Amino acid sequence: MIAHSLSAGQIKAARALLDWSQESLSQATSLSIATVRKLECGSISPRQTTMFVIRNALEEAGIEFIDADGVRRRTEEVSVYRGVSGRKNFFADLYETARKAGSDIALIDTPDGSLTNGEEAIALFKMIEENTASFVKCLLTSPINPVLESAQVEWRLISRNYIDPMPICICGDIFAMISGAKGEDVKIVTMRSLGAAHASRKQFFSIWEKATQIQAQGNTERALRCVSS
């Protein structure tokens, strides 16, 4: 069985758990209703790319596929990352989420810019650029020169009056709150919750539209040294 393969029964069971109609699945995947019906009847052999699209849409909606044709709702998971090693692990997990789910990343930086200008974030941005089609949107609250120039990383500046002081990160079904962006003071609390991520993403983009676009100031060499060191 290929990594993205699902049985007709799993697709139908997942729809039932979500209370989705075939039309809902069609809209979520941009596949035709006829294709969805044929897949669930087992009358066609789908391409791997088609199954990836279906699986991704259902997992994004909170479904988890398990062994032996199993399906269940994914429970909300809370994780805490602490200190320097925790920060590295957080960014590594963030990259895996973006890569596997094909999700974009939204970040609200610390006032001193240490979250997005740190070496772990820079390494993340480079891996996103080299290995995915995802985009990163970084919202700054202070006029700090962004480090990395990349076609897939966009920077905007917004007044602190518009947002809460605590930095956040959103990717796929992950919603993360960050306190203490440096050294052992770092504490990152993440929740895997589609509802929390969706609500936070909606709020983020309402602020993003009000923000002013800025450009990285030619510090790419510094960024590359951080990644390679």
Residue 102 contacts residue 56 (beta carbons within 8 Å): yes
Q: What is the pLDDT of residues 99-114, one digit of tens each?
A: 887 889 999 988 888 7
Q: What is the pLDDT of residue 4?
A: 57
Q: Which amino acid is at 139?
A: L
**Helix, strand, coil shares of the chain as percentages rounded to 5?**
45, 20, 35
Residue 36 contacts residue 22 (beta carbons within 8 Å): yes
Phi/psi for 177 (5° steps) reads -115, 135
Written as six digits, the tokens of 74 are: 């994914």
pLDDT at 94 over 80: yes
Listed in sequence order, the DSSP H helices in 83-219 are: 83-101, 119-131, 194-208
Superfamily of 77-228 according to CATH: Endonuclease Chain A (3.30.870.10)
* Domain ranges across the chain: 8-73, 77-228
Mean pLDDT lowest for which of 65-69, 80-84, 148-152, 223-227? 223-227
Q: What is the pLDDT of residue 204?
A: 94
pLDDT at 19 over 90: no
Mean pLDDT lowest for which of 64-68, 84-88, 151-155, 185-189? 64-68
Residue with tokens 């390679």: 228
Q: What is the pLDDT of residues 159-213, one digit of tens each?
A: 888 887 788 999 988 999 988 756 678 899 998 887 788 889 999 999 999 999 9
Residue 112 contacts residue 142 (beta carbons within 8 Å): yes
Residue with tokens 């936070």: 200
CA–CA separation, 114 vs 183, rounded Å? 11
Sequence-distant (6+) residues with CB within 8 A of 39 are 8, 11, 46, 50, 54
CA–CA separation, 197 vs 100, rounded Å? 17
CA–CA separation, 142 vs 135, rounded Å? 22
Q: How confident is the model at residue 80 (pLDDT cuts 50, 70, 90)?
A: very high
| Interval 135-147 mean pLDDT | 85
pLDDT at 147 over 70: no
Please give the full DSSP string across 104-128, using - where no structure is assigned.
Answer: -EEEE--TTSTTTSSHHHHHHHHHH
Q: What is the pLDDT of residue 181?
A: 58
The yes/no answer on whether domain 8-73 falls in CATH 1.10.260.40 is: yes
Q: How confident is the model at residue 68 (pLDDT cuts 50, 70, 90)?
A: low
Of 189 and 224, the structure prediction assigns the larger pLDDT to 189
Task: Identify the top-confidence range among 60-64, 159-163, 219-223.
Answer: 159-163
SS3 at position 44:
coil
